[in-house]
Amino acid sequence: MHFQWFPGHMTKAIRVMQEELKLIDLVIELADARIPLSSRNPEIDTLARDKIRILILNKRDMADSAETDRWIKKYEEQGYYTLAINARQRNELKAVTGMIRKAGEEKRLRDAARGIKNRPVRAMIVGIPNVGKSTFINSFAGRNSAKTGNRPGVTKGKQWIRLNSGKNGSAIDLLDTPGILWPKFEDQTVGLHLAWIGSIKDELIVHSDLALDLIEFLQMEHAGILEEHYGFVPEKDSVRVLEQLASARGCLSRGGEPDLEKAAFILLDDFRNARLGSITIEPA
Ligand code: G4P
């Protein structure tokens, strides 16, 4: 299978991002805690060179928590304010507000040193598709529902969510539409990992190929998980395992042969919904 992102999309994405970032002090990047490498586009480091950076590992409920802790440490060492959340849980957003404030304080001090006072810190969510940007913004807008409307000097139609002012009176405005980054298919592993978690359009995918690779990964890194979940002892050969799964789940084609596409779909669906457990694909 070959994964790619069309260059036309990329140029446009870069242009849009560059425009949007002009308005922004603080870039809040969302990544997927199961694939903290492949769900990021390192290009953002160049695009957001002068900005303060927060990196959120989202969908932490679907990842291995010890591994997530290691990733947080690693990214903190690289200079990001980092935390892990489940964006579907509104009560987890308090921690994000706290971190945004902390990062915003850095900006406030920078401004103060240049004699600028009480200017709100403007923040924006960015990330590749499907990392949870909309979910995050919706949860956030729910908690901090005061929308501030259009402002002079701000692109028409942009809406900001104002976070309550901190003790020092400085406010933080979050742009309510996320910036969309494109995945970086530097090597095929990136595409493979994105496809495993369901972040690549299904029409581009041959499910059985994807599932065979996933079976190999699971057999190598999480021995026992297939037996535990599906109740059969998997054989060594991954095609055979897919056939075993097909018969365990009654996936037969018209001629009575095992329907491998169907079995693959079941495996992928279980994996993508963390029914096989909270598994981090990319270790720190
Ligand atoms: P995007 O804007 O970055 O493209 O992502 P979006 O918010 O649309 O989220 C993509 C999917 O991920 C959604 O599921 C969303 O509910 C889910 N999601 C977001 N954050 C989390 C999280 O922290 N944990 C878990 N487990 N899931 C999360 P969906 O199946 O596409 O839609 P639905 O189930 O919400 O209807």
* pLDDT higher than threshold 80 for residue 192: yes
* pLDDT higher than threshold 70 for residue 166: no
* pLDDT higher than threshold 90 for residue 216: yes
* CA angle, residues 118, 120, 121, in degrees to nearest 5: 125
Gap from CA of 131 to ligand 1 centroid (Å): 7
* pLDDT higher than threshold 70 for residue 143: no
- Higher pLDDT: 28 or 143? It is 28
* pLDDT higher than threshold 60 for residue 139: yes
Q: Give the bridge partners for 161, in sequence order.
A: 147, 174
Binding pocket residue ranges, ligand 1, CB within 6 Å: 58-59, 61-62, 86-88, 127, 129-135
Q: For residue 1, what pLDDT is reported?
A: 64
Gap from CA of 120 to ligand 1 centroid (Å): 29
Mean pLDDT over 123-141 rounds to 91
Which atom from ligand 1 is nearest to the alpha carbon of 58?
23
From atom 31 of ligand 1, which residue's Cα is the shortest distance away? Answer: 130
The strand ranges marked E within the chain are: 26-32, 52-58, 81-84, 121-127, 160-163, 172-175, 179-180
Q: For residue 120, what pLDDT is reported?
A: 86
Mean pLDDT over 33-58 rounds to 95
Side-chain-facing half-sphere of 108: CA atoms under 13 Å: 19
Q: How confident is the model at residue 12 (pLDDT cuts 50, 70, 90)?
A: confident
Gap from CA of 133 to ligand 1 centroid (Å): 8
Gap from CA of 59 to ligand 1 centroid (Å): 8
Q: For residue 159, what pLDDT is reported?
A: 84
The CA distance from 30 to 57, in Å, is 6
Which atom from ligand 1 is nearest to the alpha carbon of 135?
7
pTM for the model: 0.91
- How many angstroms from the chain centroid is the CA of residue 77? 20
* CA angle, residues 143, 64, 38, in degrees to nearest 5: 80
Side-chain-facing half-sphere of 166: CA atoms under 13 Å: 19
Which atom from ligand 1 is nearest to the alpha carbon of 137?
7
